[in-house]
Amino acid sequence: MTTRFADKSVLVTGGGSGIGRGIALAFAQEGARVAVAGRSAGPLAETVELIERAGGKTVALTGDVTDGQDAARLVWETVELFGGLDVAVNNAGVLGALGPVAEIDETDFRRVFEVNVTGTLLAMKHQIGHMRAHGGGAIVNVSSSLGFHKRIEGAAAYAASKAAVTALTRAAARDHIGEGVRINTVSPGPVDTRMSSRPGEDAEAKTARMKDEVPLGRAGAVAEVAAAVLYLASPEAGFTVGTDLVLDGGITA
């Protein structure tokens, strides 16, 4: 186990599964104290168990980042339990229903933006508020390469929301660049998680589809996304502000 984040306190939203779980595990493996947050206690408990089994220090915090009071509470509970907040990773997000623009359900569209964009905004607002008052920190928002290219038919709401997340991140990065808070995004392409699977698709069919869709010939690994997040949160990225690190196997090359 390396100790790049020893004695650091990290908050990961959407930490109950997939990319969020992988990010939380990676920080814990590098010595961080990790608060994993999400709306459902069951998946968070599974993440906590994995981290503790590997010898890491962690806690589960239930909350909804679309609620401003919850977003604030997640920050102060992390600070209360771990003594501070050095890194925040805003990964909470939803895909929403797929379909052409002319058939998008307005309620579903609003929900996707509420979680993906408003949730990121509220989370950052309270994270920045603490960090700038306590010596700074790093924030990494998880966006998507779908925010600037069309790859999945019918994913207009998700794509638009992730484009907004990337733009919001750049604005926040500039707004707070002189306050010791570095803010960046990672934009994964297709990653080998449940969200990247199509309805009724088995593992073999998914592998074949990825060979066709991704120039590198495969989906990304959760560990690869986690490694990028840890880099952006680390001192090695000290000169990196407002950057969107794209991990898509060459789709946008």
Residues noted as catalytic = 158
Cβ 15 vs Cβ 21: under 8 Å: yes
In angstroms, the Cα distances linking 214 to 52, 60, 247, 248 are 35, 35, 11, 8
Tokens 């020893």 belong to 6
Q: Which residues neighbour 147 within 8 Å (Cβ) at sequence distance 6 or greater?
A: 159, 160, 162, 163, 164, 165, 166, 187
Tokens 């309270």 belong to 126
What secondary structure does DSSP assign to 191-211, as a single string? BSSGGGSPTT--HHHHHHHHH
Q: How far apart are CA 192 and CA 182, in angstroms?
A: 28
